[in-house]
A and B are shown apart, each in its own frame.
Chain A
């Protein structure tokens, strides 16, 4: 009986002493944690998926609270989570823009490919590219064994009548499976609003690239688009022009100068033209200075005018106008 009492008393006393000691220590070594971090962490899905680029949801919450990262990077949480975080941070929610896969090659169909030999091996792209640099003449282009279609679990890539792979923008979830599957790295995930693409991945020299492309739309690395781009979004990388989609404003100027039609602009001819509302215009000349094609003219402190023939509908002036005097029509 005594032993039981001693046991209880001893362990109880030990527990009590340690507890009090820790309580004192936690006051003494108290670390102030931003309450926002806790709140944001609760809102985040807690999947620790890493899509935001942080090792876990808590690390992302810390980065947001410290103002080091955007609030819209949570892919599983999407717009809803971004909005809730925006409430906590007192910011405006900018929703995450959906991305889709873009295949940077216009060749690889039944009648627009030049062949080196007839491939009869294992029907996968990965095997085909290993046999004498692949069956198609272009060393960078699509080898049309359709690994990307195989990899897509959302049925978002289809073949058209010419045997070309077409990405269905409605079904594509930008999961990246096709990007990994393509042995020639032709596929890139691009924000859905960006519609002007350089559909070629050839690093060959101009003449060579042209000769090898069955679609005759190879990028020859001439650099005209680089010079023309009003926002410096295009860069020549080892003889291939590449669009930086973070900078691209979708104006389509590059497509108009591309001599080989390697740049495709589905919006060509469909863009709205800028129109200046004369009553609102204060003649600050900002728009005229920013216009990449010099379509805006006018004197200081007088209403400006847009030349509709020159305007390419890039919307730069629309965005810079401090008085909202420009409309896209």
Chain B
């Protein structure tokens, strides 16, 4: 029971209270770049969930069984980035094979997950917060879910904004920035949650 409540706390923290995009301000590039259409936002979210979960798994294993025993944990960043980059490549290949249209819609942002700070962020935070293996995997999953949630919300808002009457000077990016700020303010409300 204690384990379940801990996982629940982890989930709420990763998805809402410490949301990667709106509270930690990580992964803003795809947040603004891929949030123009709902379906591509959803696809991107799924890709990020997959990459984050896999990255959490592999980086935790590498950190615990390779870097720490050999006392070379100063190589953390480069080893993690290497892992994430390979995973992203793998995801890109799989998406290109199984969903070419999604691959086209994601465009340049898919390879950009490689250098996405949110993915590296979750990997390093797992280690810094001294999470166990299972917790680290779940944290990666929840962080991805939080990212997807925000991305999909943003895409939904921006699709509506396209049809709304907005002053010409505010169309496109400026209004998206304002919306992002409003969403971050709204998510600030979650920081009062204590579990």
**Interface residues in B63-111 (C-beta closer than 8 Å to A):** 66-67, 70-72, 75, 78-79, 82-83, 86, 89-90, 93-94, 96-97, 100
Partner of B66, one of A3, A10, A25: A10
Is B127 engaged at the interface, CB distance under 8 Å to the other chain? no
Does B62 have its Cβ within 8 Å of any Cβ on chain A? yes
- Residues of A near B82 (CB, < 8 A) are 11, 14-15, 18
Say yes or no: A29 contacts B72, CB within 8 Å: no
Given A26-B93, A29-B93, A29-B97: A18 and B83 interface contact (C-beta under 8 Å): yes
Q: How many positions in chain A have a CB within 8 Å of any CB in the partner chain?
A: 15
Contact with B along A1-15 (1 / 0, CB 8 A): 001001100110011
Query: What's the count of A-B pairs with C-beta under 8 Å?
Result: 45
Residues on A facing B (Cβ under 8 Å): 3, 6-7, 10-11, 14-15, 18, 21-22, 25-26, 29-31
User: Contact check: which of A10, A22, A26, A29 meets B67 at CB < 8 Å?
Assistant: A10
Closest residue of chain A to B67, judged by CB? A10
Q: Count B interface residues, CB 8 Å.
A: 19
* A3-B72 in contact given A10-B66, A11-B78, A31-B97 (Cβ < 8 Å): yes
Q: Is the CB of A18 within 8 A of B93?
A: no
Q: Interface majority SS on B: helix, strand, loop or mixed?
A: helix
CB distance from A284 to the nearest CB of B (A): 49
Starting from the known contacts A10-B75, A25-B93, 15 additional A-B residue pairs (CB-CB under 8 Å) come to A7-B75, A10-B70, A10-B79, A14-B62, A14-B79, A14-B83, A18-B82, A18-B83, A22-B89, A22-B93, A29-B93, A29-B96, A29-B97, A31-B97, A31-B100
Chain B positions within 8 Å of A7 at CB level: 72, 75
Nearest chain A CB to B89's CB is how many angstroms away? 5
User: Would you give the shortest CB distance from B59 to chain A, in whole angstroms?
Assistant: 11
Name the residue of chain B whose CB is nearest to the CB of A27. Answer: B93
17 contacts between A and B (CB under 8 A): A6-B71, A7-B72, A10-B67, A10-B75, A11-B78, A11-B79, A11-B82, A14-B82, A14-B83, A15-B82, A25-B93, A25-B94, A26-B93, A29-B94, A30-B97, A31-B96, A31-B97
CB B176 to nearest CB in A, in angstroms, measures 21
Provide the bound-state CA to CA distance between A30 and B94, in Å. Answer: 9
Q: Measured between alpha carbons, how far is A44 from B8 in the docked complex, in Å? A: 55
B93 contacts A10, CB within 8 Å?
Answer: no
A contact residues around B96 at 8 Å (CB): 29, 31
Question: Which of chain A's residues has its CB closest to B104's CB?
Answer: A59
Separation of A22 and B171 alpha carbons in the complex (Å): 42
Q: Is the CB of B86 within 8 A of A18?
A: yes
List residues of chain A with CB within 8 A of the CB of B100: 31
Give A21 to B94 CA distance when docked, in angstroms: 13
Q: Are B86 and A10 in contact (CB under 8 A)?
A: no
